[in-house]
Chains A and B, each alone.
Chain A
Amino acid sequence: MASHPSTRTRRGPVTYLVRLLVIAYLFLLVAWPVYLVGKNTFADGMDNINGILEDPDIVHAITLTVQVAIIAVIINTLFGVGISLLLVRYDFPGKRLLSALLDMPLSVSPIVVGLALVLVYGGRTGWFGPGLESMGFQVIFATPGIVLATVFVALPLVIREVVPVLEEVGEEQEQAARSLGANAWQTFRRITLPSIKWGVVYGVVLSLARSLGEFGAVKVVSGNVLGQTRTATLVVEEKYLNFDKGGAYATAFLLALVAVACIIIVSVIRPKEDR
Chain B
Amino acid sequence: MTSTTLTPDRPATSRRPVRVGRPLTRVSGLGLGVAMMWFSLLVLIPLAAVVVTASAGGWSTFWQAVTNEQTAAAIELTVGTAFAVTLVNIVMGTMIAWVLVRDRFFGKRALEVLIDIPFALPTIVAGLVLLSLYGRNSPLGVDIANTRPAVFLAFLFVTLPFVVRTVQPVLAELERDVEEAAMSLGASRFTVFRRIILPSLTPAIAAGAALSFARGVSEYGSLVLLSGNLPMKTEVTSVRILSSIENDNLDSAAAVATILLAISFAVIVLLDVIQRRMVRRG
> Residues of A with Cβ closer than 8 Å to B?
4, 7-8, 10, 12, 14-15, 18-19, 21-23, 25-26, 28-34, 36-37, 40, 79, 82-83, 85-86, 88-92, 96, 98, 100-121, 125, 127, 148, 151-152, 155, 164, 167-168, 170-171, 175, 184, 206, 209-210, 212-216, 219-220, 233, 236-237, 240-241, 248-249, 252, 255-256, 259-260, 262-264, 266-267
Contacts and interface: CB of A to CB of B under 8 A. Distances in A.
Contact of A148 (B42, B128, B257): B42
B220 A216 contact: yes
A4 B175 CA distance: 12
A262 B197 CA distance: 33
Contact of A119 (B32, B49, B129): B49
B45 interface: yes
A168 B4 contact: yes
Given A12-B189, A233-B124, A266-B116, A33 B133 contact: yes
A119 to B, nearest CB: 4
Interface in B142-171: 156-157, 160
Nearest to B22: A90
12 contacts: A30-B115, A36-B132, A104-B47, A108-B261, A109-B238, A112-B260, A119-B50, A152-B46, A206-B120, A252-B122, A255-B121, A256-B122
B32 A86 contact: yes
A82 B129 contact: no
Contact of B218 (A33, A108, A116, A259): A108
A7 B130 CA distance: 44
Contact of A209 (B17, B99, B120): B120
Contacts, number: 275
Interface string B244-280: 0100001001100100110011011101100000000
Interface stretch (B7-15, B23-31, B65-73, B198-206): B23-31
Contact of B123 (A127, A170, A215, A262): A215
A104 B132 CA distance: 32
Nearest to B132: A36
A40 B242 contact: no
Given A109-B238, A111-B238, A91 B22 contact: yes
Contacts of A21: 95
A118 B245 contact: yes
Contacts of B282: none
Interface string B88-120: 000010011011001101000101111111101
A251 B253 CA distance: 31
Contacts of A263: 113, 116-117, 120
B217 interface: yes
Contact of A79 (B20, B38, B121): B38
Interface of B: 1-5, 17, 19-24, 27-28, 31-32, 35-36, 38-39, 42-47, 49-50, 53, 92, 95-96, 98-99, 102-103, 105, 109, 111-118, 120-125, 128-130, 132-134, 139, 156-157, 160, 176, 180, 183, 189, 211, 214-215, 217-221, 224-225, 237-239, 241-242, 245, 250, 253-254, 257, 260-261, 264-265, 267-269, 271-272
A233 B225 CA distance: 12
A213 B120 contact: yes
A7 B125 contact: no
B46 A116 contact: yes
Contacts of A264: 113
B218 A212 contact: no
Contacts of B217: 109
A82 B31 contact: yes
A36 B139 contact: yes
A19 to B, nearest CB: 5
Contact of A110 (B32, B49, B225, B238): B238
A237 B124 contact: yes
Contacts of B111: 22-23, 26
A220 B47 contact: no
A29 B156 contact: yes
Contacts of A125: 250
A36 B129 contact: yes
B115 A259 contact: no
A147 B2 CA distance: 33
B120 A112 contact: no
Give the 8 A-B residue pairs with the shortest CB-CB distance, closest first.
Answer: A213-B122, A109-B218, A116-B46, A107-B214, A107-B264, A36-B132, A119-B49, A259-B120
Contacts of B47: 104, 108, 116
Nearest to B193: A14
A260 B17 CA distance: 43
A86 B35 contact: yes
B56 to A, nearest CB: 11
